[in-house]
Structure 1
Amino acid sequence: MGAPYRQFCPVAKAMELLDERWTMLLVRELVTGSQHFNDLRRGLPRMSPTLLSKRLQQLVRAGIVDKEVHGAEVRYVLTPAGRELRTVVESVGTWGVRWMGTLGDEDLDPKLLMWDMHRNIDHSAVDDPPEVVNFVFDDVTGAARQWWIVIERDDADVCDIDPERPVSVTVTAGLRALTQVWRGDTTWAGALRAGTVTVDGPSAARRAVPTWFAPTGLARVVRPG
């Protein structure tokens, strides 16, 4: 835990645990359902494995997380105290959407965007899986330029290497433009009209993509003005 504030205020006591760097974002990942170390790393790609391990240990000691070991499998599961933090994460996120909306270039991360999109697919909108969506970021260079999300009936995977499966539809966009769609700063329809996002493939698949990747959660928060 962080250095004590030495105040009796419950806010101060809570923040002794929660205001250390990366801790609340780690709680965010746990709240959204990640339980395995590698999945937590994918949701926090700029957090070192060493620091992630340290923060998990702190949350276990604080009674926020249970570490469950089943043979070779290790899972990190929120306790009742940890699950109560969902409302805290959602409240902070709602405030952030409403009042901290500006994105710098350093905030844009194709790896994190693809990970978040793949775990929030509306599988009920996918009529005939598997579907393979190729994402091309036309303003990104190197290996991070292309990604593939493979949508199965009840699961999905995100790949940074061609899975060598038939592509159903290709989404081409600037990284900022697709991030803004996913955050709810603009709509799929608005981005498609503006030409900042294009979708290529059979007409049925083109129409379906916005329903497969419909922004959820904090993206639905109403902005001021």
Structure 2
Amino acid sequence: MDERGGYGQFCPVSMASEILCSRWTTLVVRELLCGCTRFNDLRRGVPRMSPALLSKRLKELERAQVITVLRKANGSVEYHLSEAGEELRSLNMGLGNWAQRWMESRLSLKNLDPSLLMWDMRRSLNAKLLPERRYTIQFLYPELPGAQKSWWLVVDGGTVDLCNFDPGHQLDLLVTSSLRTMTAIWMGLTTIKKESDCGQLEIDGNPTLASSMQQWLGLSAFAHEPRRVQ
């Protein structure tokens, strides 16, 4: 139970809220639903959450039997959703779809985070739409400082790696935009063509890769939800 204490009600909504409505918990569940099983990968999906709090929330979810913890002989630990945890998928998606429909675009784009955006893009990129060879794609956000400015996605053999340092491979594509523009594209609020046409996005490099970017990039799981507000 969260440090705030229980609600003291027998209503199932109340009981579920005692488990799921503590700070960060629904986002941790989101990362587990997206396939993250290791602590460091979970952290990349919630970069502003402290390791201590993440560990605490995982223990709470384990006690609530939402997750199971697999401790391997080599000392590594994996976190997996239980049957009860998997049933949270529709609830988690429902929250996201509701926000996509009803929250204003300006609010959606208020809290920009390059590491979270790139991590989402890394796991949603559709490598099957690219020819079978290694591709290195750099995303450049000129307005950001230092290590937040440049990110690389390396696609090789169907796997996608994310680097915030130059991996040293030949560059196939350079994508330059503001973080706000790329986040808006990712969320389905605009398109690559629209932002390119108005000069907010520049794509340099392999013409085939550039022209098909809207397809292989993939989008947020909520991007196709019709919006009711702008």
Shorter-chain TM-score: what band?
over 0.9
Q: Secondary structure at 1:107's aligned position in 2? A: coil
Output the CA distance in 1 between the equivalents of 2:35 and 2:150.
26
> Where in structure 2 are the equivalents of 1:1-225 lying within 5 Å?
1-2=1-2, 3-71=5-73, 72-101=75-104, 102-103=106-107, 107-224=111-228
How far apart are residue 16 of structure 1 and its match? 0.5
Output the CA distance in 2 between the equivalents of 1:106 and 1:224.
18
Output the CA distance in 2 between the equivalents of 1:145 and 1:168.
18
How far apart are residue 141 of structure 1 and its match? 1.8
| Alpha-carbon displacement from aligned partner over 1:180-223 (angstroms, at most 9, x marks no partner) | 00011111121111221110013112112222202142111111
Aligned residues of 2:109 and 2:184 also touching (Cα < 8 A): no
Output the CA distance in 2 between the equivalents of 1:152 and 1:112.
22
Aligned residues of 2:191 and 2:214 also touching (Cα < 8 A): no
Question: Percent same amino acid at aligned positions?
Answer: 40
Output the CA distance in 2 between the equivalents of 1:79 and 1:168.
41
Output the CA distance in 1 between the equivalents of 2:71 and 2:156.
28
How far apart are residue 172 of structure 1 and its match? 0.1
After TM superposition, the score normalised by the length of structure 2 is 0.94
Aligned residues of 2:109 and 2:183 also touching (Cα < 8 A): no
Using the TM superposition, name which of 101-110 and 194-203 deviates more.
101-110
Output the CA distance in 1 between the equivalents of 2:60 and 2:110.
28
Output the CA distance in 1 between the equivalents of 2:220 and 2:103.
18
- Count of residue correspondences: 225
AA at the equivalent of 1:87: S
Aligned residues of 2:39 and 2:78 also touching (Cα < 8 A): yes
Output the CA distance in 2 between the equivalents of 1:104 and 1:89.
17
After TM superposition, the score normalised by the length of structure 1 is 0.96
| Alpha-carbon displacement from aligned partner over 1:30-53 (angstroms, at most 9, x marks no partner) | 011101000000000000000000
Are the structure 2 counterparts of residues 224 and 106 from structure 1 closer, same or farther at C-alpha, using a change threshold of 3 Å? closer
Which ranges in structure 2 are unaligned for 5 or more consecutive residues?
none
How far apart are residue 90 of structure 1 and its match? 0.3
| Alpha-carbon displacement from aligned partner over 1:135-163 (angstroms, at most 9, x marks no partner) | 10022121110010101122111101100
Deviating above 2 A after TM superposition, structure 1's stretches of 4 or more consecutive aligned residues are 101-106
Output the CA distance in 1 between the equivalents of 2:212 and 2:151.
19
